[in-house]
Amino acid sequence: MNMKKYITLLAILPMALQAQTLDECQKAAEQNYPLIRQYDLIGKTTELTVANIDKGWLPQISASAQATLQSDVVSWPDQMKTMMTGMGIEMKGLKKDQYRVGIDINQTVYDGGAISSQKAIAREQGKVEAAQTEVNIYNVRKRVNEMYFSLLLLNDQILLNRDLEELLAGNERKLASMVKNGTAAESDLQSLKAERLNTLQRTTELESQKRMLQTMLSTFCGIEVTAVGKPDARTSEGAGNRPEMRLFDSQLRLADVQEKALNSALMPKLGVFAQGFYGYPGYNMFEDMMSHKWSWNGMIGARLTWNIGALYTRKNDKARLKLQRDMTETSREVFLFNNNLEQIQQNENISRYKRLMADDDEIISLRSAVRKAAESKLSHGIIDVNDLVREINAENAARLQQSMHEICMLKEIYDRQYTIGEK
């Protein structure tokens, strides 16, 4: 290692030590993604819904006031009215205008499990929504992978381009000496210098792309990504940890509790009640017919109700839930099928890159030997500078190809990890 490369390594070492790993970027992106706030919102909404349903056990109180004018009212028979009048008793009868201000209290004692079923459904619906949110957030990982490995590839391209600049600059200095000694043409020196300037421009473009991508990744993750490092290769199999699998399970559990709720809808309901009102007429009809005074009236009791209306739709409701389960199971099978195809493709890509990488070192070694021989031939006037530039570019292309093979293989490995569902 020459002194210049050693100094460059020392310069980038602190950045490498502070590099954000792929796992750190993925976790930061998930926490920074606005959809993450929906987790808390779903949880709080579910708690409020369950709390409201649970209040069905509290006494249900209602107040009412009414005034009516009737076309006819209960009255004394004419004979009885004549007899009572003869005895000196005035029989006024009921008034056609009647008034009532009252309050009703109903307390559920037994509901057949309806409230419990509603709470279970609300909780499972919350879990389904949370699982769907998890699926959406999980997709963030793939977007991070794209930006992270693109940055890694840009970093390698920039480093290799700088090595190419250094190599061209070294040959430029040699060629300048040959021109000075009259053993090379000035046009050859100008051609080599133009090639070095083209390489400088390419480095400028790559650095601009890197800054843009680094800013995008930092914004996406919510942290300042100062540098990235190559992650380790991993091996994994299966697809059991994908959030989609948990979503399917949640949807099936929701269908289960909805079916249990069908049973509770057929159960009888038992409750107690109390009614009271102040008005006219009251419960004592005879007294109200003799005296048009408002009175206090009250009643307590128990009520048993059994509504079999749910029986009419029970068969269709159960069939609908079965279809809902079948659709969920079909969605699971389709997901696993596509997931397996994706893994097959990714495994083949990984194997292909490994096979390509097996020859990369030898290709670079051969290209380097040819380039060194071309430098010697140029110094002896056997070839011109265009031949040397072609060999230098061929060696650089081989190095770029090796870098691309390695990073693309790592990306395929981590894309497979995303496909499988490992974190």
Tell me what percent of the residues of the chain surpass a pLDDT of 90.
65
Sheet holding 295-305, edge to edge: 60-69, 97-110, 269-280, 295-305
Predicted confidence band of residue 201 (pLDDT cuts 50, 70, 90): very high
Q: Say yes or no to pLDDT of 359 above 90.
A: yes
User: What pLDDT is attached to residue 235?
Assistant: 61
Which pLDDT tens digit goes with each residue over 209-245?
999 999 999 999 999 998 898 888 766 555 558 999 9
User: What pLDDT is attached to residue 15?
Assistant: 40
Predicted confidence band of residue 2 (pLDDT cuts 50, 70, 90): very low
Mean pLDDT of the chain: 88
Lowest mean per-residue pLDDT among 1-10, 195-204, 310-319: 1-10
User: What pLDDT is attached to residue 384?
Assistant: 87
User: What pLDDT is attached to residue 373?
Assistant: 94
**How many beta carbons lie within 10 A of that of residue 165, not counting itself?**
17
Mean pLDDT value across residues 338-355? 95
Mean pLDDT value across residues 170-180? 90
Q: Say yes or no to pLDDT of 59 above 60.
A: yes
Mean pLDDT value across residues 152-178? 93
H/E stretch holding 300 reads strand 295-305
Query: With helix as H, strand as E and coil as C, how does 171-187 read?
Result: HHHHHHHHHHHCCCCHH
Q: Do the Cβ atoms of 39 and 132 come closer than 8 Å?
A: no
User: What pLDDT is attached to residue 14?
Assistant: 41
DSSP structural state of residue 19: P
Mean pLDDT value across residues 251-266? 92
Measured CA to CA, the distance from residue 197 to residue 185 in angstroms comes to 19
Q: Do the Cβ atoms of 210 and 152 come closer than 8 Å?
A: no
Bridge partners of residue 136, in order along the sequence: none
Which pLDDT tens digit goes with each residue over 13-58?
344 445 789 999 989 998 998 888 888 899 999 999 999 999 889 9
Residue with tokens 């930006």: 147
Q: Say yes or no to pLDDT of 6 above 60.
A: no
Mean pLDDT value across residues 182-204? 91
User: What pLDDT is attached to residue 45?
Assistant: 92
Q: Do the Cβ atoms of 78 and 32 come closer than 8 Å?
A: no
Between 422 and 148, the more confident residue is 148
- Which tokens go with 354? 């490994």
145: helix, coil or strand?
Answer: helix
Q: pTM for this structure?
A: 0.79
Predicted confidence band of residue 7 (pLDDT cuts 50, 70, 90): very low
DSSP string spanning 155-211? Answer: HHHHHHHHHHHHHHHHHHHHHHHHHHHTSS-HHHHHHHHHHHHHHHHHHHHHHHHHH
Which pLDDT tens digit goes with each residue over 101-146?
999 999 999 988 899 999 999 999 999 999 999 999 999 999 999 9
